[in-house]
């Protein structure tokens, strides 16, 4: 069973606010070796935040960079890699998106979109640089990978150019999906 961890900003006795990973008192008592792991992951989280801030600085340099889907992928990759390492060591972060949003100055919704983006596209070579971040973000809620690929092809071919056209495609996709699938009570 994974140990729940929370990432918090805590003011130390010296008056300096620091990021700390906390576990339930019961978990700390039952597993005394957690202290070393928490110290390691606190530093790892701080390193991840610094890495993400570096990417954000680069993203904010220009309007072109702001829409660069590969830069957003690298930013999300840093987040996902930290979370994955925690999970591999039997921890689960219960406030990950909220903590990242707080520590990076981004919205929780944006953080969750980037993480979902990275989970849907686990390798950088899956990202097409001709498709900007806003377009990728708009198609993330399409669960069917073949439909998502079709939409990407239509964007690349120029058949779909605007965000509204993407929304229309998704509405059409959802309509056709719902008409193909019979409710379970009719089967």
pLDDT in tens, 103-125: 999 999 999 999 999 999 999 99
Q: Which is it for strands 3-11 and 91-93: parallel, antiparallel or unpaired?
A: parallel
Query: Looking at the predicted structure, is the pLDDT value of residue 94 above 80?
Result: yes
Residue 107 half-sphere exposure toward CB, CA atoms < 13 A = 3
Sign of the four-CA dihedral 18, 45, 79, 66: positive
Query: Looking at the predicted structure, is the pLDDT value of residue 71 above 90?
Result: yes
pLDDT of 18 reads 86
Query: Looking at the predicted structure, is the pLDDT value of residue 178 above 60?
Result: no
State the pLDDT confidence band at 180, using cuts at 50, 70 and 90: very low
pTM of the model: 0.85
pLDDT digits (tens, 9 = 90+) for 44-63: 999 999 999 999 999 999 98
**How many CB atoms are closer than 10 A to CB 23?**
19
Distance between CA atoms of residues 3 and 26, nearest Å? 10
pLDDT of 179 reads 47
């Amino acid at each position: 069973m994974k140990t729940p961890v929370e990432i918090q900003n805590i003011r130390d006795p010296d008056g300096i606010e620091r990021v700390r990973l906390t576990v339930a008192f019961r978990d700390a008592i039952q597993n005394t070796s957690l202290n070393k792991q928490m110290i390691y992951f606190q530093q790892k989280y701080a390193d991840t935040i610094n890495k993400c801030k570096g990417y954000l600085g680069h993203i904010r340099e220009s309007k072109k960079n702001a829409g660069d889907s590969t830069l957003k992928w690298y930013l999300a990759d840093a987040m996902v890699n930290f979370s994955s390492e925690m999970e591999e060591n039997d921890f689960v972060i219960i406030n990950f998106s909220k903590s990242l949003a707080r520590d990076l100055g981004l919205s929780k919704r944006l953080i969750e979109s980037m993480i979902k983006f990275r989970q849907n596209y686990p390798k950088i070579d899956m990202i097409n640089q001709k498709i900007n971040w806003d377009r990728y973000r708009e198609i993330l809620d399409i669960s069917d990978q073949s439909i998502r690929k079709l939409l990407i092809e239509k964007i690349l071919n120029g058949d779909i150019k605007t965000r509204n056209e993407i929304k229309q495609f998704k509405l059409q996709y959802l309509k056709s999906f719902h008409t193909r699938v019979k409710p379970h009570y009719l089967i």
